[in-house]
Structure 1
């Protein structure tokens, strides 16, 4: 495919931290932040200023209709994702949609179906896949370093809602969805688990808690924390905890995979290394390009000792997304790119977890995972 216009022009729906993160990544990928939109013209003007967009649109629909937008980045509240993503796809735009892709599996499936009908594709920012040491951990596990896998454990802990006086649109189920902690960050953990091991989760048993009955004077609408036990397709058992009320934990995603020959662990707050242990000893595997697998080395662009972090991972995600849209992604790299089907997968796991909570921690099966076939059709705007 040959583009007639470059660079790709992005429209961002929504404001705040995530919109700014997307904007920085768009520029790093060589894209242009063309238009910003939010819930009102006033907020759109603020989003234009915070993202550095060239223009502000009075509504999401107005942004989607613009001819100077090739890719729509959906960074609005979760409940609006389905509507905006489908409208963008129907308008011939590629989509980068924040996670959760949608608030239910059925809603996410409609987005995937709309992309298939449009002959286009989209991506979902499960960006922890783009830490080089995650790729190294994945490569070593794929090479059989684990031996016989035995158990998986971990957690994703934050503290930004550890005060009952703090609230946010995510606390409101009408905007954020029925699940908050799990849908927002637990989805990252399970995506990383399946990505690193290649072993899909087939059933879950969960329990949830709400730490505060009320937040800022209003009834709390979704969970603050959750624990989940699970079984994978290969019969490996595991547990994980997710919390947004764990004082002192800012963004601690920890995943450990154990086996008969070796165990591996990744800690997002120390992303430049992984822990590797065997029965004869343990230590850190650090990000040093000559030692890395090819997939990890591709994403390791700074010399060892110069830390790469969250924004670097996000930049790499958007760069690969844009290369994918332009049919210029290196061979094999598409296997690491989280696409709409991965967003659907996360929504299906969330549905199962909530069903288990409703059933007093009953075991609930998860539908079989599937792989989205990448579409190579041009964006309508690019072909004009």
Structure 2
């Protein structure tokens, strides 16, 4: 097997998580990193033991040694950087959201479609074994027809008015925050597991903390702040959103996202209510799946190779009781993505495509419009 060479753009929280996950799969070397300045790039390369450092990503794109690039930059940089990566014929794994607008997402989707490249988006929650098990149950009709889909993604890292991050600023994070940042994961997961498409939405949003203290020096995601050396600024992106949805098969759903719900660190939850049974998966308790029935006791299915559907087996690596979590989901993402790059397997449907990323942006468009109009809004069709 040929050892592939990878480069990372951006060395914040998620960029460092990518690096660790890549190194764990064993047949990819992280050979370069790019940052917003040469000084920062040199510092990150030294601390992360990466041989090459670039202060300008366009210089990195000229490096013929590099096979794959991971775009882990802030949201507002995704579109142009992704476009340049594809134009320079490098395989690409982008952080979500794919872009800030659906028009940009469509352009990338069409550009990638015409290239013989492996491209994907890091919707890593697809990669959990019990998510794959639940998806297998849906496909086997173990739940019966899925009638209702309920989900939430709750965090508390922006609970206080002293909590601040670049994601709060529309010019960097985009016109939506809770919706685009964590809601995109929830919408993708619901569609992926059920095989159903969201076609219509009715949304309500709120800026729960309308003013926050912005520090003079930026902080990484999830770091706490104080009022010292900080400026009180107005906030225009939502902390919270609840949305009713309709699916293409007539099923209904309701989703809530919040970044101001105390005690919830990364509480992604998906519930499927079928005609025969219900299934519930919680990311913070990812090793189990809760099953509910009307005529017999509820069950807890644990992450164990002897208990899960065969579709889930490639996504778990240790015996039952040896728990695997968020970091393993990233490792699975890298394994499936790089297997496709190396030609070992075809592109895995567990890796979200640019077409699927485009479709998520169309859902977000409809949610934003619905929050403005107070009416049901249809999700636009993908335009090839």
Q: TM-score, normalised by structure 2?
A: 0.91
Note if contact 1:14-1:47 (Cα within 8 Å) is conserved in structure 2: no
SS in 2 for 1:289: coil
Unaligned runs of 5+ in 2: 214-231
Note if contact 2:149-2:272 (Cα within 8 Å) is conserved in structure 1: yes
Give the aligned length.
Answer: 364
Q: Which residue of 2 aligns with 1:96?
A: 93
From 357, 377, 381, the equivalent of 1:364 is: 377
SS in 1 for 2:355: helix
Q: Is 1:346–2:360 an aligned residue pair? A: yes
From 12, 15, 21, the equivalent of 1:16 is: 12
From 305, 313, 316, the equivalent of 2:321 is: 305
Q: Mapping of 1:62-141 within 5 angstroms?
A: 62-141=59-138
From 291, 294, 319, the equivalent of 1:276 is: 291
Q: Mapping of 1:210-289 within 5 angstroms?
A: 210-216=207-213, 217-279=232-294, 280-289=296-305
From 299, 318, 334, the equivalent of 2:348 is: 334
Unaligned runs of 5+ in 1: 373-384
The offset of 1:197, in angstroms, is: 0.5
For residues 124-164 of structure 1, what are the alpha-carbon distances to aligned partners after superposition, in whole Å with 9 as ceiling and x for unaligned? 11111111000000001111112232211120000111111
The offset of 1:369, in angstroms, is: 6.3
Q: 2:49, 2:135 → 1: CA distance?
A: 36
The offset of 1:209, in angstroms, is: 0.5
- Runs of at least 4 residues off by over 4 Å: none
Q: 2:188, 2:358 → 1: CA distance?
A: 11
Q: Which residue of 2 aligns with 1:382?
A: none
Q: 2:44, 2:373 → 1: CA distance?
A: 42
Q: TM-score, normalised by structure 1?
A: 0.91
Q: 1:50, 1:197 → 2: CA distance?
A: 42
From 305, 323, 334, the equivalent of 2:339 is: 323
For residues 305-341 of structure 1, what are the alpha-carbon distances to aligned partners after superposition, in whole Å with 9 as ceiling and x for unaligned? 0110001000110111011112212x6x722221211
Shift in CA distance, 342/51, structure 1 to aligned 2, threshold 3 Å:
farther
Shift in CA distance, 49/218, structure 1 to aligned 2, threshold 3 Å:
farther
Q: Which residue of 2 aligns with 1:188?
A: 185
The offset of 1:42, in angstroms, is: 1.9
Note if contact 1:206-1:226 (Cα within 8 Å) is conserved in structure 2: yes
SS in 2 for 1:190: helix
Note if contact 2:203-2:241 (Cα within 8 Å) is conserved in structure 1: yes
The offset of 1:358, in angstroms, is: 1.6
Query: Please, what is the CA RMSD of the aligned residues?
Result: 1.6
Q: 1:105, 1:36 → 2: CA distance?
A: 28
Note if contact 2:146-2:194 (Cα within 8 Å) is conserved in structure 1: no
Moved more, 314-323 or 48-57: 48-57
Q: 1:298, 1:161 → 2: CA distance?
A: 36
The offset of 1:368, in angstroms, is: 4.0
Q: 1:231, 1:265 → 2: CA distance?
A: 20
The offset of 1:54, in angstroms, is: 1.5
Note if contact 1:129-1:195 (Cα within 8 Å) is conserved in structure 2: yes
Q: 1:15, 1:228 → 2: CA distance?
A: 33
Moved more, 141-150 or 47-56: 47-56
